[in-house]
Amino acid sequence: AQKVTQAQTEISVVEKEDVTLDCVYETRDTTYYLFWYKQPPSGELVFLIRRNSFDEQNEISGRYSWNFQKSTSSFNFTITASQVVDSAVYFCALSEAERDDKIIFGKGTRLHILP
By CB under 8 A, name the binding residues for other proteins.
33, 35, 37, 43-47, 50, 52, 91, 95-97, 99-103, 105-108
Nearer to other proteins by Cβ, of 14 and 46: the residue is 46
Which CB sits closer to other proteins, 81 or 97? Answer: 97
- CA-CA-CA-CA torsion sign (10, 104, 95, 70): positive
Supply the minimum distance, in Å, between the C-beta of residue 86 and other proteins. Answer: 19
**Least Å distance between CB 53 and other proteins?**
11
3-state secondary structure of 4: strand
Q: Minimal distance in Å, beta carbon 31 to other proteins? A: 9
| Residue 20 β-bridge partners | 78
